[in-house]
Amino acid sequence: MRVLFMMILMLVMAISGDAMPLQTKNTKKTSPGWLPLWSTNNNIDVPTRFLRDVDEANVGKIESGRSNDQERVGFPSVSQAIDKLAYKALLKMNTEPENIFNKLRFAEANVNLNNNPAFIQWLQYVLKYRAKNDNFGFSNDYLFDILRNAKPEAELVTLFQSLRQVPGMKDLADTMQKYMILSSASSHRLMNDVWLKSRETPKEVFNILGLRNVELENNPLFIQWLRYTQLYRSNTAFSDLQALTFLKEEQTLLGARLGVILQSMKGIPDINHLAQSMQTHLFRIWINDAHIKPQGFGYLLAIPYHDWRYILNLPKFDHKYATLEAYTLQYAADRGGEHALNEVRGLFANNHREAALVAAMKV
């Protein structure tokens, strides 16, 4: 009761006081990045006495959290209403979320953050803290660093996926999943496994990774999507053609560049087969439905330039040239059979590139 009385007393004092000016202590909290981040020029320490009361009263509950599911982990209180008052007071003082995270000892090895109501409350506080500071404060990359330093990778992968089911946390959870993939190669398989276990479709994973209307070439998130699609189709009825159709619908402005992107993916061993299959389906749509000859495809590849022949002078390893060669070979095979394919392939092998296109278009 004494602790509760002191808590309420401190809450009243905090709520009635004015927020103090803050100062940045760590530039990474405001560091820029290609994902949406926030910045702050404010920081304040929680009053020592207040956090000491919180700390001492809460340690026992946190440490017993894994052995007794009925115990609550959070501020010392008799109800969630008191927790809300505590966070309201801390927000009034513009207290940095990291200070609360540390004092509640969420980083302790025996504290599981997954499905932890106290941790959810803390994340809700993070969002309110940002809103109070006009979305300038406690950036997503700083939040991710705190969590990555606190918990093992496998635990975080599960945590971020489960957060998608918490009201108001889906966008934050998706952002954390993107950070995990971009920061750790060892998390890729873990992330795919948890998505598959959650029965996420390639369409949903595409949305999680934020791939709509973004550059796909050399994009590690797109590579992750292809890897997941390959895993998903081995467990569910989902064809390469379905994957291609979905991709075309989501990236309607790609045109011939989609062939180039898939060409670049063919150089990655574990997704080579999927990329090759999707590219073949794509080429056959253009060959059989759109009736586009290799020269016409060259024009499409050259956009916005008018003279497509410069592509023929590009190095053999250039993705744009390699795509034109692959399309020409596919055209020869589909229209002229094995004999035409061997003829065109031989011309390319002897570096007679334009002659190879002419031969293919004669079949």
The percent helix, strand, coil of the chain (3-state, each to 5) is: 65, 0, 35
| Neighbour-count burial for 343-358, b at 16+ CB within 10 Å, e otherwise | bbbebbeeeebeebbe
Q: DSSP code of 323? A: H
Cα–Cα nearest to 181, from 145, 209, 152, 214: 209
Are the beta carbons of 90 and 125 closer than 8 angstroms? yes
Rg of the chain in Å (alpha carbons) = 28
- How far apart CA 137 and CA 97 sit, in angstroms, is 10
For the CA atoms of 96, 97, 103, 109, what is the dihedral angle to 10 degrees? -150
With 0-12 / 13-18 / 19 or more C-beta atoms within 10 angstroms meaning exposed / middle / buried, residue 55 is middle
Handedness of CA 109, 114, 115, 121 (dihedral sign): positive
Question: 166 to each of 46, 115, 128, 258, how far by Cα in Å?
Answer: 28, 9, 16, 36
Q: DSSP code of 18? A: P
Tokens 């229209």 belong to which residue?
335
pLDDT tens across the length of the chain (363 residues) = 445 545 544 543 443 333 333 333 344 554 333 333 222 233 333 333 333 443 443 433 433 334 344 344 555 443 566 678 889 999 999 999 999 999 999 999 999 999 999 999 999 999 999 999 988 889 999 999 999 999 999 999 999 999 999 999 999 999 999 999 999 999 999 999 999 999 999 999 999 999 998 999 999 999 999 999 999 998 888 999 999 999 999 988 888 999 999 999 999 999 999 999 999 999 999 999 999 999 999 999 999 998 999 999 999 999 999 999 999 999 999 999 999 999 999 999 999 999 999 999 999
Read off the pTM. Answer: 0.79
- How far apart CA 121 and CA 257 sit, in angstroms, is 45
Structure tokens at 59: 């340690």
Tokens 């589909």 belong to which residue?
334
DSSP one-letter string for 219-263: -HHHHHHHHHHHHHHTTSS--HHHHHHHHHHH-TT-TTHHHHHHH
